[in-house]
Structure 1
Amino acid sequence: MEKAILIAFFLVATSMAYNQALAQEEDIIISPSPEEFADEPAAFYDHELLHHMTTERIRFLQECADKMSSKCGTEISEGLVYDKPVSEACCENVLRIGIDCHEGLMSFVFATYELKDVADEIFPRSKKIWNQCVRTTAARIGAPIAYET
């Protein structure tokens, strides 16, 4: 799996989540109906995933995604896929968005059709990245908590 795929999927998914939230607020249906996904199991699955999320949750995840720099998103993707460490600058970005945002985004991304089958393998790396960032950067910006290991 290449990093570009993960980044692109993340951006598309968060954009879809935001648009879905706006549509729910305005009582406008902008996404296709489930019947239109008959030949696309991934799209149907992800549509249903979003459909079962509250507007508040979608808005929260969108705000979290908006706080993440694209450079840091790339580094995190590489860290998740290739088990690489992230830079101190990216760690600062990750820690500043907070553990709830980090965990929420990771949970959402790994619940999607394309990534659900690798979630057990890759999701623990998100905790590893968070803990690495706490060790290397937290003292400089405040002390977020580490995940229990």
Structure 2
Amino acid sequence: MGKTLMFLMTLFITTMVTYPTRAYEDDGEPIVDPNNRLQIPVGESPEANDYNRKLFKGYSGRDLKHFLNMCMMSWECGLDIYEEMLQNKRSSDACCLEMLEKGKDCHIAMARFWFSLYEFKQYASRAIPKSYVVWNRCYRDVGPHAPSA
């Protein structure tokens, strides 16, 4: 339990310190081609596996599993949110609501998690700041203060 709490606190502090939301200007350009559905790489390479193993070496499998269980969204909504971050495709209100229910800390920590992986690290410098933009848009559109239909 102590390692899990320390892991979550580390993610939270890193999230809050590293990428302040006011420091990012969205140029409105998609990060990856918006005409294609995002593809999650299925092929594995020794280089990618080694990189990812070293990245998470300090955390136990139990801690990572706990973090993913707490913060991971449904596959469909996770992909929907990441398409908004990477391709400017607007997420559905249902997926925004699922993200809001998990919480901002989980959303930002998951973005950091995915974009630290070898396969996605090339997008991190633009996608992680964009995760704040997506959060703010979803909160504005379907958050607790949004007008009811």
TM-score, length of structure 1 as denominator length = 0.63
Q: Any conservation in 2 of the 1:3–1:77 contact (CA below 8 Å)? A: no
Work out the CA distance in 2 between the residues paired with 1:3 and 1:77. Answer: 11
Instruction: Give, in angstroms, the shift of residue 115 of structure 1.
Output: 1.6
Which residue among 118, 122, 127 is the counterpart of 2:127? 122
Note if 1:105 corresponds to 2:110: yes
Instruction: Give, in angstroms, the shift of residue 74 of structure 1.
Output: 2.0
Residues 69/140 of structure 1: CA separation in 2 closer, same or farther (3 Å cut) = farther
Work out the CA distance in 2 between the residues paired with 1:70 and 1:94. Answer: 12
Instruction: Give, in angstroms, the shift of residue 140 of structure 1.
Output: 5.8
Instruction: Give, in angstroms, the shift of residue 56 of structure 1.
Output: 5.8
Work out the CA distance in 1 between the residues paired with 2:56 and 2:125. Answer: 21
Which residue among 66, 87, 107 is the counterpart of 1:60? 66
Any unmatched runs of 5+ in structure 1?
10-38, 142-149
Residue deviations 1:13-36 (CA, integer Å, cap 9, x gap): xxxxxxxxxxxxxxxxxxxxxxxx
Q: Any conservation in 2 of the 1:46–1:112 contact (CA below 8 Å)? A: yes
Paired residue for 2:39? Answer: 5
What root-mean-square deviation, in Å, do the aligned CA atoms of Structure 1 and Structure 2 show? 2.7
Residue 5 of structure 1 aligns to a residue in which SS? coil
Residue deviations 1:29-63 (CA, integer Å, cap 9, x gap): xxxxxxxxxx7211100011121224564133221
Residues 140/90 of structure 1: CA separation in 2 closer, same or farther (3 Å cut) = farther
Work out the CA distance in 1 between the residues paired with 2:105 and 2:61. Answer: 17
Paired residue for 1:16? Answer: none
Residue 85 of structure 2 aligns to a residue in which SS? helix
Any unmatched runs of 5+ in structure 2?
1-31
Paired residue for 1:132? Answer: 137
By percentage of residues, which structure has more helix?
A: 1
The count of residues paired between Structure 1 and Structure 2 equals 111
